[in-house]
Structure 1
Amino acid sequence: MKLKIPPAIQVLFCGFIMWLIKKFTSQEHFNFEYQNEMSLILLLIGVILGILAIYSFRKAQTTVDPLSPEKATSLVKSGIYKYSRNPMYLALLFVLLAFLVRLGNLYNLIVIVLYIVFITEFQIKPEEKALTSLFGKHYLKYKMEVRRWI
């Protein structure tokens, strides 16, 4: 792995930066009817995706440790993994989107984009390399069939 910072810590850091941006910027705020409800829906989507992803890993009896993909004992392609190769990171993205909507600050879109770039370069791509080493052509076939995010 290029960088050993757990994705959940990365999301907490992004959330903190988003909060700081909201606190120290007075413009580019937005409000709309049902904003809190929309934020809650996005959060629930993230939580459900995360639970489904972890459940699939547990069912396959393989590691959920994002810092040690080389410890994977099976290639999970069922459940939510039929639709996304990275539903755990997608779940965390939905949590950040929920926070973005709750805070109502457009500048925080920058943080969302940076999260996507960062997690892709420093987490997902190294994981893909490790999984290719472990599972070879089976993983390469899976990569061709299922999108990285959605």
Structure 2
Amino acid sequence: MRFLELKVPPVALFMLVIVASYFCAQQLSTAAIALPYKLIILGVGIALSGVVGLSGIWEFRKQKTTVNPIKVETASAVVDSGIFGYTRNPMYLGLFILLFCVGYYFQNIFSILLSFVFVIYMNQFQIKPEERALEQLFGAEYVDYKQKVRRWI
């Protein structure tokens, strides 16, 4: 399944999962669940995902390195400042938070579970290949960073 590695842009996968979550919520009413505070959770999720994701983009821009997740080989620095001191993948974490909160808002167990499918896919076909490429590019500097900071949170 290596043919999927670094092929699907994370934002495209995010959009696909959002559509699938909506479809699940509309078509699979037997999986409906009643969860409290759905609007509050959605609002907090939108704000939190925005802060987390945009913080990662901000740090990449400050370091003048690429934010393109498909062309990892064009990275010019190991970014370990700001939010990257807490998570190695803040943009992906932001997308996950938003997917989870949208699934929660839809009040459908399958919609919520799809956010975790996003994480599994990202780990296997995006993050692991990125990490291999970054280890080749930056060697011990990136390996040290990986040992200090967790992949997600």
Confirm or deny a common fold (TM above 0.5). Answer: yes
Unaligned runs of 5+ in 2: none
Aligned counterpart, 1:80: 83
- Aligned residue pairs: how many? 150
| Residue 138, structure 1, aligned to residue 141, structure 2 | yes
- Structure 1: unaligned runs, 5 residues or longer: none
Paired residue for 1:101?
104
Within a 5 Å distance, the mapping from 1:17-56 to structure 2 comes to: 17-56=20-59
CA contact (8 A) 2:42 2:101 kept: yes
Question: 1:102 deviation in Å?
Answer: 1.2
Deviates more, 1:124-133 or 1:34-43: 34-43
Q: Equivalents in 2 of 1:32, 1:14: separation in Å?
A: 20
Q: Which amino acid in the other structure matches residue 96 of structure 2?
A: L
Question: Residue 4 of structure 1 corresponds to which residue in structure 2?
Answer: 7
The alpha-carbon deviation at position 33 of structure 1 amounts to 4.1
Q: Specify the alignment match of 1:91 in structure 2.
A: 94
Runs of 4+ in 1 over 2 A off after TM superposition: 30-34
Q: CA deviation at 1:30?
A: 2.6
Alignment correspondent of 1:118: 121
TM-score by length of 1: 0.95
What's 1:68 paired with? Answer: 71
Q: Deviations 1:92-146 (Å, cap 9, x if unpaired)?
A: 0011012111101012233122111101111000100010001100000110110
Deviations 1:16-49 (A, max 9, x none): 1111111111223233442111111011111111
Separation in 2, partners of 1:109, 1:42: 13
Question: More deviation in 12-21 or 32-41?
Answer: 32-41
Distance (Å, rounded) in 1 between the aligned partners of 2:81 and 2:134: 16
CA contact (8 A) 2:72 2:133 kept: yes
Partner Cα distance (1:20, 1:54) in 2: 30
What TM-score do the two structures reach when normalised by structure 2? 0.93
d(CA) in 1 for partners of 2:7 and 2:111? 24
Q: Percent identity over the alignment?
A: 34
Which residue is equivalent to 2:18? 15
